[in-house]
Structure 1
């Protein structure tokens, strides 16, 4: 009798979209009969959610950014790999990808998933160091798994030579649906932004855009859902009428009452929040960063996609949607249908498992055609 493959996920960070993806993958893989272990630091939501699933979680103390502790973090991870003896390691995000590839150095099948490139978040010398490492470290990844074609193109254009595979992000369309509980949200037009309060997500750009929206739309309200390192700074920037709802375990309750959901990111691979909002039948406005165009229906109007770092364009887009209820209704219905077709979580998790099967030689991987929701494209 063949023993089920053993997958070791290595994750840092342990909250936000990365934690959601790791938890969703672990749940699907356990249900499919795979053996799954996750190595991650304490804190955040990841370890708790995984243990609720019955998944084995090992403590791997690692800071979010590289630093003087990196050699010890690599040694600890190498020891965990020897103890776990997995068949395949799947490393999530830049820090885990750095440590895992240094620990393994191609010694076993290794999947590296950037979840947005680290060098897009850095400047100056740090940007060059991050880019240099991604170019060098690609040799130790059996596959570099991107969540959008745009993320893959950015890596390729930046001189990262890798065996690429693309699996677009998916969301749970049973959990994120139009029907269900809603957060207490008062009266008046409501704009909601869900995301970690940090530079990447661009809430400061939204706060600069908001006074113009509030001036032209009577009673308009903005709610920022989430927590993060920039919370204090953003509160200081925010007009009095902006509400900070904090982190919540059920973001769907905030998507549902929203007239518009906005995510003004500076960089992404493919953000989950717009997919979740569309699954809840809500119209979205996003910045034109990696994955944004691919996450929207092909015939979405231009108003839904704005340049990053442009408060005036963001304000114009929000005003146009807030003033046009029929358009919002149509976009909500279109977005829900699009996510059901192209970004359902089951499609995404099955596609990742197909990558494992291919790398472990467990049969021919099944790849969907270009018009299907499950996309794995190898170059």
Structure 2
């Protein structure tokens, strides 16, 4: 269900479980209070896609007021789901969510198309910046860093659209090695066209592009920030110096072969899709059981979960 966060009420929703993907805000509070009031016996789960430690540091001026917003809003839900371990640790340590109602389930998509792409070229030559062209993604730092490299045989392909496109094109200036590829309707095709994926995000709850890159066996460079750290055990390489100079060194290093990410597509262990499904099934069974519905309701009524 897609809704206007400014609505006062959603009315009564017939469902066994309601899962919210809304961005928490003061504007949305009347609707959230109404949602809880109209469904006193229905389990409510909130998935926190938006807020992280770095988001607050870079974007929130009145931090105590924002902290109060999160604490009040989250208490309207039976469970709060963080989408990365790093985000979950921040939510718990900040006091925004009680540990007893917090779960961590990393986000996921179907990665089969990414596993099927051809191996990356070696040595690496094409750096990919994939995502919405927004200041969150830090592509301005990436372009500045790339322009300071001197190798004529390395390239930066920028995939995506967004409000920062004009500014990013201006930064790229007349460097012929930088190409803006626009929106790609097939993310796996875009991934197949690059050798390395760079994620210099200023904040990132998790980063689906990261798991897509790793599933495709691409080298992955990430800032040491928020949920991007979760991808290090799977092979991501951390750029600890987030400056332009730090990213310049990282880009030159990966093209020179000094930073190589191991192809983890054949690694042991379940695929992320399997873990994602299992974790959600266990959470829903536990929540339904706590509301006297029992875990059997999950199997008996698969259509009884509504997402808002």
User: Where on the TM-score scale, by shorter chain, does this alignment land: which range?
Assistant: 0.7 to 0.9
Instruction: Return the alpha-carbon distance in structure 2 between the equivalents of residues 136 and 164 of structure 1.
Output: 15
Whether 1:228 aligns to 2:228 is no
What's the TM-score once normalised by structure 2's chain length? 0.80
More helix by share: 1
**What corresponds to 2:269 in structure 1?**
341
Q: Residue 226 and residue 111 in structure 1: after superposition, are their counterparts in 2 closer, same or farther (change >3 A)?
A: same
CA deviation digits over 1:295-354, x for unaligned, max 9?
2226x48xx1013742211111111110118x63xx2413x245x736522321331132
2:246 alignment partner, SS class: helix
Matches within 5 A, 1:148-159: 148-159=84-95
Q: Is the 8 A contact 1:194 1:226 kept in 2?
A: yes
Q: What RMSD over aligned residues (CA atoms) do the two structures have, in Å?
A: 3.0
1:86 alignment partner, SS class: coil
Alignment partner of 1:167 out of 100, 105, 119: 105
2:23 alignment partner, SS class: helix
Q: Is the 8 A contact 1:170 1:346 kept in 2?
A: no
Q: Residue 306 and residue 343 in structure 1: after superposition, are their counterparts in 2 closer, same or farther (change >3 A)?
A: farther
Alignment partner of 1:179 out of 117, 132, 135: 117
Matches within 5 A, 1:82-231: 82=12, 84-95=13-24, 98=28, 101-105=32-36, 107=40, 108-117=42-51, 120=56, 122-125=59-62, 127-162=63-98, 163-179=101-117, 189-213=125-149, 215=150, 217-231=151-165
Instruction: Return the alpha-carbon distance in structure 2 between the equivalents of residues 309 and 323 of structure 1.
Output: 20
What's the TM-score once normalised by structure 1's chain length? 0.66
Q: Is the 8 A contact 1:287 1:305 kept in 2?
A: yes
Task: List alignment gaps of at least 5 residues for structure 1.
Answer: 1-38, 41-59, 63-69, 183-187, 365-379
Q: Is the 8 A contact 1:260 1:318 kept in 2?
A: no
Aligned residues: 280
Q: Is the 8 A contact 1:116 1:267 kept in 2?
A: no
Matches within 5 A, 1:1-379: 39-40=1-2, 60-62=3-5, 70=6, 73-75=7-9, 78-79=10-11, 82=12, 84-95=13-24, 98=28, 101-105=32-36, 107=40, 108-117=42-51, 120=56, 122-125=59-62, 127-162=63-98, 163-179=101-117, 189-213=125-149, 215=150, 217-240=151-174, 241=176, 242-297=178-233, 300=235, 304-307=237-240, 309-324=242-257, 328=260, 331-334=261-264, 336-337=265-266, 341=269, 344-361=272-289, 362-363=294-295
Instruction: Return the alpha-carbon distance in structure 2 between the equivalents of residues 245 and 96 of structure 1.
Output: 34
